[in-house]
């Protein structure tokens, strides 16, 4: 039973100007319930091995529960698999100052997920692969749908976003991204379109083709694009090494 799903107090990263996802069209999506002190909040994540979920390091907490196979998180759907996290592995060089460097974390699950028609893995890119600017990708999550509203959606929502060149973030007005690091970050979301990931979507994947190329990391508090995503391909050696070390 997950009654506490309904009382999540705050969020970390959300989909603005998106739409409801086709139920179970993203088999890899993970809904994370994170307890940090007295607070409970939500993040996204994605299943990259039967017993590992990838997410953002800023989604770390004292206790994390992963829900796989979910669409409506306020209902006890038959498809849901609720698995506690055995141990979180945030990147050793994670820097929580904005923009967050090395904002990536592996979650080792208490037991393996059962892969089926509602739960599956997503591919990771080859190490150091770059996504061409102009590429359309998509992001999904259970985060807020407006900077003006605290209301959180019950169902998974998604939006298509364009990958931009690094200069767009480096030269962002007001210098919000002056510390943007193109080696480990991606600049995503056309400033001309009011579409973005937002609070509650943190840790979810930016999917280009069938590959998780980015992780929702941060963006302006008003929800205006572009946002900054962790560049997954940079961390492939770290992901592989960490998972190999922990496999029984």
Q: Are residues 101 and 8 in the same domain?
A: yes
> Is residue 222's pLDDT more than 50?
yes
Give the mean pLDDT of the chain: 86
87 & 165 share domain? no
For residues 151 and 178, membership in a common domain is answered with yes
Of 62-66, 126-130, 174-178, which gets the smallest average pLDDT?
174-178
Number of domains in the chain: 2
Q: Is residue 77 part of a domain?
A: yes
- Pick from 141, 105, 116: nearest CA to 50: 116
Tokens matching residue 73 = 């998180």
Domain identity same for 79 and 64? yes
Query: Do 98 and 179 share a domain, yes or no?
Result: no
pTM summary value: 0.90
Same domain, 174 and 152: yes
Residue-wise pLDDT tens digits, 8-30: 333 334 455 577 888 889 999 99
Instruction: Please answer whether residues 18 and 196 qualify as being in contact, where contact means their C-beta atoms are separated by less than 8 angstroms.
Output: no
Is 203 a residue whose pLDDT tops 70? yes
The DSSP string of the chain is --GGGGG--EESS--BS-EEPPTTS-TTEEEEEEEETTEEEEEEEEEEETTEEEE-GGG--SEEEEEES-SBTTS--TT-EEEEEEEEEE-TT-B-SSSPBT--EEEEESS----SSS----B-PPTT--PPTT-EEEEEES--S-TT-----SB-EEEEEEEE-HHHHHT-GGGTTTT--TTTEEEES-TTS--B--TT-TT-EEEETTEEEEEEEE--TT-PSPEEEEEGGGGHHHHHHHHHHH--
Is residue 68 one of the residues assigned to a domain?
A: yes
pLDDT band at 197 (very low <50, low <70, confident <90, very high): low
Residue 62 burial class via C-beta count within 10 angstroms: exposed 0-12, middle 13-18, buried 19 and up: exposed
103 is catalytic: yes
Q: Do the domain assignments include residue 151?
A: yes
Q: Which of 58, 91, 217, 233 is catalytic?
A: 58
Strand pairing of 39-49 and 29-36? antiparallel
Q: What is the pLDDT of residues 70-114, one digit of tens each?
A: 999 988 899 999 999 999 999 999 988 766 899 999 999 999 999
Nearest Cα neighbor of 45 from 59, 31, 57 is 31
Report the pLDDT value the prediction gives residue 177, as an integer from 0 to 100: 85
Domain containing residue 31: CATH number: 2.40.10.10
Give the per-residue pLDDT at 220.
67
Same domain, 169 and 222: yes
pLDDT-based confidence at residue 7 (cuts at 50, 70, 90): very low
Residue 125: inside a domain, yes or no? no
Q: Is 202 a catalytic residue?
A: yes
- List the domain range (segments joined by +) for residue 164: 136-233
Active-site residue (options: 24, 71, 91, 103): 103
Shared-domain flag, residues 227 and 241: no
- Out of 71, 91, 201, 202, the active site residue is 202
201 is catalytic: no
49 and 112 share one domain? yes
Cis (ω within 30 of 0) for the bond into 170? no
Better-scored residue on pLDDT, 6 or 59: 59
The mean pLDDT value for 223-232 works out to 87
Indicate whether 175 and 95 sit together in one domain. no
Q: What is the pLDDT of residues 113-167, one digit of tens each?
A: 999 999 999 999 999 999 999 999 999 988 765 555 566 668 888 888 999 999 9
75 lies in the same domain as 159: no
Say which range, 34-48, 87-101, 185-199, 217-231, has the weakest mean pLDDT.
Answer: 185-199
User: Is residue 5 over pLDDT 50?
Assistant: no
13: left (phi over 0), alpha (psi -120 to 50) or beta: left
Is residue 156 domain-shared with residue 195, that is, in the same domain?
Answer: yes
């Amino acid at each position: 039973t997950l009654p506490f799903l309904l009382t999540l107090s705050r969020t970390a990263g959300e989909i603005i100007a998106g739409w409801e996802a086709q139920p179970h069209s993203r088999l890899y999506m993970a809904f994370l319930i994170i307890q940090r002190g007295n607070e409970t909040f939500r993040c996204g994540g994605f299943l990259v091995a039967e017993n590992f979920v990838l997410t953002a390091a800023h989604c770390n907490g004292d206790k994390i529960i992963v829900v796989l196979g979910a669409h409506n998180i306020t209902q006890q759907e038959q498809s849901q698999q609720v698995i506690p996290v055995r141990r979180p592995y945030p990147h050793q060089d994670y820097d929580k100052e904005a923009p967050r460097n090395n904002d990536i974390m592996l979650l080792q699950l208490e037991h393996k997920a059962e892969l089926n028609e509602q739960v599956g893995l997503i591919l990771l890119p080859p190490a150091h692969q770059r996504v061409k600017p102009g590429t359309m990708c998509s992001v999904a999550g259970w985060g807020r749908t407006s900077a003006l509203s605290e209301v959180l959606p019950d169902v998974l929502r998604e939006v298509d976003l364009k990958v931009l060149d690094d200069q767009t973030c480096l030269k962002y007005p007001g210098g919000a991204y002056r510390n943007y690091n193109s080696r480990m970050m991606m600049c995503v979301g056309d400033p001309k379109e009011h579409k973005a990931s937002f609070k509650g979507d943190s840790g979810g994947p930016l999917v280009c083709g069938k590959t998780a190329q980015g992780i929702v990391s941060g963006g302006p508090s008003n929800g205006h694009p572009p946002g900054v995503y962790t560049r997954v391909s940079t961390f492939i050696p770290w992901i592989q090494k960490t998972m190999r070390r922990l496999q029984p």
